[in-house]
Structure 1
Amino acid sequence: MPDVLVLVDHDGERVHKSTYELLAAARRLGDPAAVVVGSPGTAARLKDSLARHGATRVYSAESTEAEEFLVTPAVDALELAVREASAAVLVSATTDGKEVAGRLAARLDAGLLIDAVDLDSSGEVTQIVFGGSCTVRSQVTHGLPVIAVRPGSVEPEEHPVEAAERELALPPVDPAASARITARRAALAGDRPELTEASVVVSGGRGVGGADGFKVVEELADALGGAVGASRAAVDAGYYPHQYQVGQTGKSVSPQLYVALGISGAIQHLAGMQTSKTIVAVNKDPEAPILALADYGVVGDLFAVAPRLAEEVTTRRAES
């Protein structure tokens, strides 16, 4: 059975949850094969966890340049791995992942499907399109399928196997045609989970009223063990950093629980979170669009509701 290639998201020491989701999705199409792009020694550190989640083969694409340039090394690695009789390529539908997918599809003259939230054994994919306003089913009819899967859409599963190793020799990167990484800064999330990997996300919008108002959002997120998000309106107003923006021009999330505090529900925001398993919204406006989407809606003052909810969650956790 041909390999289904999965581009591994990692931090050099740990595989991100989104990769385990891709491996689970890849098993529906064939034999999952993980492609690790990084500095020398990265694949060896990640191999066991990848094999535990079903990777039958681990392609090691390592070089000193791999972490110095954006996107290009990953595209080069996947192009090399495709030559090993591959059935499809899966990447996470992050900002970088979508660019990798687009460039790879262009190089291979392949079919490209973006923002997939499900796929079956025939290769038919469910997508969220037109800013989240439509759900469609699509299938590649020309070339190799290159599919960007939205993080949180597929449940990761442990599926222990023996993983064979294969080295890929990355070509030198042309600095004139590639973006070089000049500096890295640690995220300001503290002990909270990364936004796209969190099973619980609590987001604040313009209704939070200001940067100080986000303390209520953070306290509820911490009580639930979740990540903090923000709407574009809140980010544009300077209430919270851009890296936490959820929506069409921010990050797409699909947690088990999404709590929206003071978010009206513009279509651009809904596009980034509407596939969440359970949605809870708190808003003063009974006509807010997000209340129509929410599984549970509270018409009220978020500054009264959120602290009481955080207190109740903390109390019940202490009792359990």
Structure 2
Amino acid sequence: MILVLVETSLEGEATEVSLEALTLARSLSTAGSDRPVDAVVVGQPPDELLATLGSYGVRRVHALTGEAFTSYAAAAWASGLLSVRHGAGSDTVMAAGTPRGNEVMAHVAARAGVAMAANVLRVEGLTPFVVTRQVVGGAALEEMRLADRLAVLTVAGHAVEPTPAADPGSAELVVETPEIADADLVARVVSTEAPEPDLSGDLTSARVVVGAGRGAGSADGFADLLELTDLLGASLGVSRVVTSLGWRPHHEQVGQTGSRISPDLYVPCGISGAIQHWAGCSSAKAILAINTDAEAPMVTRATYAVIGDLHEVVPAINAEIRRRRG
């Protein structure tokens, strides 16, 4: 049986990247192994979520409930997952390659004493699996053989298209309240605050992202970039130096210590493209770089590039978009 951790939004809906992980899990199940796919969610799922998971071919939804699961705690979530896994007899545990997904799966793998494959793009074979995953910030691909008794992996964002099952069913709800050790709750979320309204959106699922780096010049240099973000219906992402200087909030950061994005189009403006930033954006399907330096790493790796000052190029793009829209 394949067990998938499903993350949910504040509204109780399955995140797009979790639906992608379910799609990959279902493809493994139908590739000759005939193993059912079960999902694990934290908290009591609403009926709409159960219906969605059933439409993606999920057989059972295991809901982790109890005081230990009222907020995020990676060790507690991992403990709950392993409890479900032992009870259901799962030989594969997976999640979306989000910050939480990667952290929880790392705990699962460590406790089970097995290897973990992060940021997987595709899986071949049955048992053992041979996975292809992103490494070195996405600059290279690695083939990895998961030969352990338990396969643990996370799926890179947008590696697969989220697709409902051809023969959807109704997911059975199983409420689980596993015992969690106090040590698993030492590191946990104690409070959350909603970010101030801005244009960052959900970077991990955005189809278009406008990026901004040191070339913005200052905290006051984002007006044109924000307008472009609005015109494209995009999300705004920034480099680490921008957040370090306090020009924009950290939740907008793209890179090794920020969000990993996989949009259809990424438009980095004034971003040189250090390996740490490239680690977060290398999965973009197309990159249009705007930079004054024709030899900048981001420019040399981009699908297209405009060599020029973003404060001249971006307003011109905005004006042309407005003109074409009348």
TM-score (norm 2): 0.89
The correspondence of residues 308-319 of structure 1 with structure 2, limited to 5 A, is 308-316=316-324, 318=325
Check the 8 A contact 2:138/2:283 in 1, yes or no: no
The correspondence of residues 158-307 of structure 1 with structure 2, limited to 5 A, is 158-159=164-165, 160-174=168-182, 177-190=185-198, 193-307=201-315
- Give the stretch that moved more between structures: 91-100 or 220-229: 91-100
Partner residue, 2:79:
76
| Shift, 1:208, TM fit | 0.9
Partner residue, 1:96:
100
Aligned residues: 314
Q: What amino acid does structure 1 have at the position aligned with 2:147?
A: T
Partner residue, 1:154:
160
**Structure 1 residue 87 corresponds to structure 2 residue 95:** no
**Quick one: percent identity of the two aligned structures?**
35
2:104 counterpart SS class: helix
Q: 2:51 aligns with which of 48, 52, 55?
A: 48
Alignment CA distance shift 1:126-1:312 (3 Å): farther
State the Cα RMSD in Å: 2.1
Q: 2:38 aligns with which of 30, 33, 36?
A: 33
Partner residue, 1:17:
16
**Structure 1 residue 63 corresponds to structure 2 residue 61:** no
Distance 1:191 1:304 in 2: 21
- Give the stretch that moved more between structures: 215-224 or 112-121: 112-121
| Shift, 1:77, TM fit | 2.2
Give a deviation string over 1:257-297, Cα, whole Å, max 9, x none. 11100011111111111111111100011111111211111
Alignment CA distance shift 1:223-1:168 (3 Å): same
| Shift, 1:17, TM fit | 0.9
Give a deviation string over 1:129-150, Cα, whole Å, max 9, x none. 1333321111211221111222
Partner residue, 2:33:
none
Give a deviation string over 1:222-250, Cα, whole Å, max 9, x none. 11111110111222222211111111121
1:137 counterpart SS class: strand
Check the 8 A contact 1:192/1:222 in 2, yes or no: no
Distance 2:57 2:150 in 1: 22
Alignment CA distance shift 1:288-1:51 (3 Å): same
Structure 1: runs of 5 or more not aligned = none
Partner residue, 2:131:
125
2:204 counterpart SS class: helix
1:65 counterpart SS class: helix
Give a deviation string over 1:294-320, Cα, whole Å, max 9, x none. 11111112122222323434554x46x
Distance 1:216 1:79 in 2: 49
| Shift, 1:73, TM fit | 3.1
Distance 2:203 2:72 in 1: 24
2:280 counterpart SS class: coil
Alignment CA distance shift 1:191-1:306 (3 Å): closer
Alignment CA distance shift 1:265-1:191 (3 Å): closer
Give a deviation string over 1:51-87, Cα, whole Å, max 9, x none. 2233222111122331234213321221022121223
| Shift, 1:251, TM fit | 1.4
Distance 2:322 2:26 in 1: 39
Give a deviation string over 1:29-70, Cα, whole Å, max 9, x none. 2233211112xx335452112222332221111223312342
Distance 2:98 2:173 in 1: 26
Alignment CA distance shift 1:153-1:315 (3 Å): farther
- Give the stretch that moved more between structures: 170-179 or 5-14: 170-179
Alignment CA distance shift 1:99-1:187 (3 Å): same
Give a deviation string over 1:109-135, Cα, whole Å, max 9, x none. 222111223333543222121333321
